[in-house]
Amino acid sequence: MPTYPPILYVEDEENDVFLVRMACRRAAVPLPLEVVVNGQEALDYLEATAPDVLGKRRDLPCIVLLDLNLPLVHGLEVLQWIRAQERFRTLPVIVFTSSEQESDRTRACALGASDYIVKPSQMDQLVKIMESLKRTWLMHCLAAS
């Protein structure tokens, strides 16, 4: 069984994590879901993916699913940090938030978010989003190969 790179899901809301895992299963997303619960952990994880990191080295994610309203470090700051790293310049970062604020969407796009998805309240809609996510990953892999 081939080893797929993980989706790094940055989310403090347990229910959402649960629902996203279920949606991924229903959408048959093959990628493992690595979950961190705040912005700082996201940064730590990403830093730990570096080649020269000794000890507990993390797998480089193929997609980052990023909530905005996060404890410790806000999602937009995480996004800004990622885009500031040379090796993450092309890493797909999808903002996944319950905020429908136009300002949030504008700022996220300005900081280099690959997509901005408002969390749906219906399960079937969430499954569709995960299917779309799988397609994004496939397209990204094709492009990389």
Partner 1 sequence: MAQADLEGRLLRVNAGLCEITGYQPDELVGHSLFEFTHPDDRKGDAEAFSRFVQAATGTFEIEKRYLRKDGESVWGRVVINLVRDDTGRPTRTAVVIQNITAGKRAEAAQRQAVERYERQLRLFDGVASTTPDFVYVFNREGRFLYANRRLLEVWGMSLPDIIGKTCRELGYEQWHHDMHMREIAQVIGSKKPIRGEVPFRAPLTGIFGVYEYIFTPVLGPDGEVELIAGTTRDVTDRKQIEETLRDRERQQRLLALIGEFSAQPIDLAELTRTICARVAVEFEVSRCGFSLVDVRGGTVLVTDDFHGPFDSLAGAYAIDSFGDYLRAETVVGRVVAVEDTATDPRTAHLASNLELLHLRAHLTIPLHRAGEWVAALWITDHAPRRWTQGEIETLRLIAERLWSVTERRQAEETLYDREQQFSALAESVPQLIWRSDATGRIDYVNDRWCNYTGQDSASAFNQGWLAAVHPDDRAQAAESWTRAANSGELYETEYRLRRGIDRTYRWFLVRGAPLRDDAGKITRWFGTSTDIHEQRLTLAALQESQRQLRETRDELEHANTALEQKISERTARLRDSVAELEHFSYTITHDMRAPLRAMQAFGQILREEYNSRLDATGADYLRRIVEAASRMDSLITDALNYAKAVQTEMVLSPIDPGALLRGIVESYPQFHIPLASVEIEERIPAVLANPAGLTQCVSNLLGNAVKFVAPGKIPHVRISGEVLGSNVRLWFEDNGIGIPADQRERVFVMFQRLSKNYEGTGVGLALVRKVAEKMRGRVGIESAAGGGSRFWLELCRAPQAQERA
Interface with partner 1 (CB under 8 A): 13, 15-16, 19, 22, 69, 98-102, 119-124, 126
Q: Which of 9, 5, 11 is nearest to 59 (CA)?
A: 5
Distance in Å, CB of 121 to partner 1, minimum: 4
Distance in Å, CB of 5 to partner 1, minimum: 27
**Of the two residues 52 and 102, which places its CB atom closer to partner 1 in the complex?**
102
- The Cα–Cα gap between 61 and 72 comes to 21
**Of the two residues 86 and 100, which places its CB atom closer to partner 1 in the complex?**
100
- The Cα–Cα gap between 120 and 66 comes to 15
Q: Which of 67, 87, 86, 89 is nearest to 78 (CA)?
A: 67
* Per-residue tokens: 114: 């690959």
Distance in Å, CB of 83 to partner 1, minimum: 24
**Of the two residues 40 and 99, which places its CB atom closer to partner 1 in the complex?**
99
Distance in Å, CB of 3 to partner 1, minimum: 30
Q: Is 145 exposed, middle or buried (0-12, 13-18, 19+ CB in 10 A)?
A: exposed
Name the β-bridge partners of 34: 8
**Of the two residues 88 and 97, which places its CB atom closer to partner 1 in the complex?**
97
